[in-house]
Amino acid sequence: MKKYLLLALVMCVTLFYGFAPVKAEQNLGLEGKAQILMDFETGEVLLENNAKSHLPIASVTKLTTLLLCLEALDEGRISLDEKVVASENAASMGGSQVFIESGGEYKVENLLRAIAIASANDASVVMAEKLAGSEESFVSIMNDRLVELGCEDTHYTNCTGLPSAEAFSCAFDVAKVLACVVTHPLYFEISKVWMEDFVHPNNRITQISNTNKLLKRYAFCDGGKTGSTSEAKFCMGATAKKGDMRLIGVVLGADNSEARFSSLERMFEWGFNSFVSRKIVDSQKSSKVDIRWGKTLLEIKPKTDYCVVEMKNENREYNVDYLMDNLSAPIKTGDKVGKVIVSKDNIVLAEIELVATNDVAELSVWQIFKKIT
């Protein structure tokens, strides 16, 4: 299934090679109980403080709710135009809401927008009940999905982040979930909307505005999810992209809203100023090779990119070796034909499949005879 492939792409490096993460409290003046800054392409942690401490995260919980909704869309289990009838239970949710009407029919797209933009608890429960029959069943799926993602320090009891003594997460797990969410293009179509009207079935309008104020104050931020309760204080997971580098940042337990936003700004600026993302293997670059008994040359390319993150001006040297299988025609487009091995100092960092990008037919017997004589 696509969601399992997604994890492999997001967390493409399982062995981090190089520097240890910087402690968040060093020189940056960050606030909150826990922080983390992660490079999206490699999953490498650049900065952390108490990143695996169990903490309440309030509405940042909805990142996982959104992830399951986006994956359901990808898998064809729901569609954006599909209409969902809101239950009395969903309409009764307190806290952040868009004042959904019990028995009203709402498009999936509008519900997702309400969740991502306005952190709507009622819209979250409507989608949970749509996908799993009940919020309780949906929460069980949420927790199972976290296990699949390797999030070992999170347990949810609802899909909204409303206060619960048994619910907790950590900065590291929030970063991993957000890294999966941002692989969905639809998320960015929604996440950057600042303000819009949420239209109810009777044409009543609820105006919604984005809770992510970093969109206005930090030019490179293009997504994120806030959360705040008296227990969790002020929390946020956010993402920013500058040039070819995307960063994931999380702040949990800040004393006020300004503290979480300013801390994330400082983290992002420090990350972009201190590090660079470098592509070592490019899946868009192909080469041609001759294969035994082939009528034409075989074009090959790596199946995926391989990137590293480095301190600026560091320019580490990597060995990139293309190893071809023992091939004979015929070859079909998409066939595995070898592998790329990335290593440094005799330590293998990655093995990436080489695939054929064209068909190569086999020479006829007469053509083979002519070639060997």
Please pick, among 87, 96, 119, 277, the residue that the annotation labels catalytic: 119
**336 flagged as catalytic:** no
Please count the other Cβ atoms lying within 10 Å of the Cβ belonging to residue 200: 18
Please pick, among 62, 130, 225, 301, the residue that the annotation labels catalytic: 62
**59 flagged as catalytic:** yes
Please pick, among 2, 52, 53, 59, the residue that the annotation labels catalytic: 59
SS (H, E, C) the chain: CHHHHHHHHHCCCCCCCCCCCEECCCCCCCCCCEEEEEECCCCCEEEEECCCCCECCHHHHHHHHHHHHHHHHHCCCCCCCCEEECCHHHHCCCCCCCCCCCCCEEEHHHHHHHHHHHCCHHHHHHHHHHHHCCHHHHHHHHHHHHHHHCCCCCECCCCCCCCCCCCEECHHHHHHHHHHHCCCHHHHHHHCCCEEEEECCCCCEEEEECCCCHHHHCCCEEEEEEEEECCCEEEEEEEEEECCEEEEEEEEEECCHHHHHHHHHHHHHHHHHHEEEEEEECCCCCEEECCECECCCEEEEECCCEEEEEECCCCCCCEEEEEECCCECCECCCCEEEEEEEEECCEEEEEEEEEECCCECECCHHHHHHHHC
End-to-end CA distance of the chain: 50
Positions annotated as catalytic residues are: 59, 62, 119
